[in-house]
Structure 1
Amino acid sequence: MNAPKSHLPSDYTGFLFRRAQQAHAAAWQTEVSSEVTSVQYGVLLVLSRLPGASQTRLCEELDLDRSTIAHVVARLQRRGLLARSRDEADARRNVLALTTDGQRELARLEPRVERVDAVLNADLTDQEASDLRRLLRVVLDRGQRVP
């Protein structure tokens, strides 16, 4: 008779994802900021690459829902890190851009975010870190197709 399989939490991918997110949050708090979240940083980063993007475009780029983006944008706007204005071509649409303070904040945060990545990948070879990112993208891409 076979012995029953011993199930440990670490036998489950979902548990490992949750623990990895906890490790990321802890590293973020230590290395980057307790004021700017990783999602807020993502918005700043996208707007540095796509000035004049709409909130809808941010939703697409960051895979976030409209209400989350609206909240994040409002918070960053209150802090003076981004500006919202009417699109000249379509007055129904708002466009977003980093302010000078937003550009400075992004520049200040970038090396700290790099340190978080270094902390999370400290025990991995460059190839393993690359493989991990690739596999995570595969899982996330497949997750987009799950109803």
Structure 2
Amino acid sequence: MPNKSDQHDSPALARFTGSMVRRAQQRHIAVWLAEVSAEITSVQYAALKILQDTPGVNQRRLGDELDVDRSTIADLVARMVRNGLIERTDNPVDKRSYVLYLTAAGKEQLTTLRPRVEEVERILTARLSPDEARELRRLLAALLPEPESS
């Protein structure tokens, strides 16, 4: 039996972009929890991926890449350090900041979760053609503010 979140928005609500984005985000969270992890959030996964691609990035740049504010990135990093996924060390160039690296456990989580994350993508875009999925990502990116240059 479909639940309320599986039903289509009323025509009145469907015309509001914010309502549709909110519902899409709710669906993403539900699929993430079912397919990937209740312990590792999609933001934490994104942080792991960024640290894999740019080891030794500073905490501020990681926050910029994730588009989260300073207090949020500080909390996220502290939680990931506590959980043994990343290590934080003093920045040798700027002692006022930290540089971040994946731990062995963080690398293992990334490897384990990657196929599950790809499954989330497949589920979320199952009713779209590859061109439509690319267009959806392009349109969603157009809704976001331009990144600030550092």
TM-score between the two structures when normalised by the length of structure 1: 0.90
Give, in whole Å, the separation in 2 of the partners of 1:36 and 1:132. Answer: 25
CA distance in 2 between counterparts of 1:11 and 1:89 reads 50
TM-superposed CA distance for 1:7, in Å, is: 6.0
Match of 1:57 in 2: 61
Alignment-mate amino acid for residue 49 of structure 2: L
- In the other structure, the counterpart of 1:9 is 13
User: Which residue type is aligned with residue 122 of structure 1?
Assistant: A
AA at the equivalent of 1:81: L
Instruction: Give the alignment's TM-score, normalised by structure 2.
Output: 0.88
Corresponding residue for residue 74 of structure 2: 70
Q: Distance in 2 between matches of 1:133 and 1:20?
A: 13
The one of 34, 38, 47 equivalent to 1:34 is 38
1:19 paired with 2:23, answer: yes
Equivalent residue for 1:108?
Answer: 112
Following superposition of structure 1 onto structure 2, how do residues 107-146 of structure 1 map, counting pairs within 5 Å? 107-141=111-145
Q: Secondary structure at the match of 2:93?
A: coil
Gaps of 5+ in 2: 1-9
RMSD: 1.6
Q: How many residues align?
A: 139
Indicate conservation of the 8 Å contact 2:56/2:101, yes or no: yes
Report the structure number with the largest CA radius of gyration.
1
**Structure 1 residue runs of 4 or more that deviate by more than 6 Å after TM superposition:** none
Gaps in structure 1 of 5+ consecutive residues: 1-5
CA deviations on 1:63-98 (whole Å, 9 max, x unpaired) are 111111111111110011100001122222211000
Identity among equivalent pairs (%): 49
Aligned counterpart, 2:5: none
Retained in 1: the 8 A contact 2:59–2:97? no
